[in-house]
Amino acid sequence: MKAFHWILLYCAAPLLSDVQGTYHLMAGDPELMAAQSYAQTRNNGHPPLRTLNPAKTDSQCRSRSLDLVFIIDSSRSVRRGEFEKVKIFLANIVDTLEVGSDSTRVAVVNYASTVKTEFLLKDYFSKLDLKKAISRIEPLATGTMTGLAIKTAANEAFTEQSGARPRSRNISKVAIIVTDGRPQDQVEEVSAAARGKGIEIYAVGVDRADMQSLQLMASTPLEDHVFYVETYGVIEKLTSKFRETLCEVKVEVVEDPCKCEARLAFQKQTQAAIQQLAAKLADVTGRIERLENTVGRA
């Protein structure tokens, strides 16, 4: 009977060798092991956290070429400290852009009961100069003539004389309005006229801003062009949103948490290995049966 056991072990040796080889194949390939680990984790109901590399994301995000005009409310309701936060918000957006005469040009229209164009699209072509100019802006402190500000931006700030590129250049024209109140004049018709000239309008409302007015001003779809924050203290949260919006190519370098490619490779190799093992198992089983029949007859 011992001889039979040795014969059985001899016949099963190739099968055990293949199983061991499959194990070493997996152990030697970190991606396959990671894929298997992920599959087990997922089945246990604990998926891994999705992560990305912020540094690479930032470095690979290139802004579109724009003619960009900020239209900012500096009426009496905007306190000086709050107005400083608006200026920081503008500077942060400028930091995300590729500024230059052949890339993005920036202007600022400041308004209250009157409208003041702080600087034109043709005035500054470097981030440093732009941010210095933004830092020098002072609030006007009365009224909220938003419609007049939009009209001024459309008819003056976005003209070729002020530094806007001709329509034939296909440079996007974008206006970002920041306000915390209800307009004291009509905004619907002037906004429609501005949009009719190819100006894309984003409306940012803060605190007491009137949502209906924001919607009348903004381009469509409204869910992509109307934003609201509770206070000026959190307006900087919108910086990343505008960075995404103004990006021409946004590449998120995201680690593959599910190791999908590795998992597919693992599944294919495992399936092939199982098929080979099944065939060899059938062969070994047949040999064992024949040996048992031989031993039984002896």
| pLDDT tens per residue across span 119-163 | 999 999 999 999 999 999 999 988 999 999 999 999 999 999 999
Instruction: Give the confidence band of 257 by pLDDT, cuts at 50, 70, 90.
Output: very low
- Whether the Cβ atoms of residue 77 and residue 208 lie closer than 8 Å to each other: yes
Residue bearing the bigger pLDDT, 4 or 72:
72
| Same domain, yes or no: 61 and 106 | yes
Does some domain include residue 12?
no
Count of residues in the chain: 298
The confidence score (pLDDT) of residue 35 equals 39
The pLDDT value recorded for residue 246 is 83
Same domain, 276 and 234: no
Q: Does the structure show a pLDDT above 70 at 14?
A: no
Using 50, 70 and 90 to split pLDDT, how confident is the model at 13? Answer: low
Q: Are residues 166 and 76 in the same domain?
A: yes
Domain of 90 in residue numbering reads as 56-249
In order of 22, 161, 170, 189, the CA distances from 2 in angstroms are 30, 102, 88, 100
Strand duo 115-119 + 62-63: pairing: unpaired
- pTM here is 0.64
- Flag whether pLDDT at 264 surpasses 90: no
In the chain, what percentage of residues exceed pLDDT 70? 70
Q: Which class for 81: exposed (0-12), middle (13-18), buried (19 or more C-beta within 10 A)?
A: exposed
Would you say residue 216 has pLDDT above 90? yes
Give the largest Cα separation in the chain, rounded: 114
CA-CA distance, 17 to 102, in Å (whole number)? 67
The chain-wide mean pLDDT, for the chain, equals 78
Beta partners for residue 227, in sequence order: 204
What CATH number has the domain bearing residue 116?
A: 3.40.50.410
Q: Are residues 169 and 140 in the same domain?
A: yes
CA distances 167 to 130, 159, 160, 190, Å, are: 24, 10, 9, 20
What are the residues whose beta carbons fall under 8 Å from the beta carbon of 53, sequence distance 6 or more? 253, 254, 255
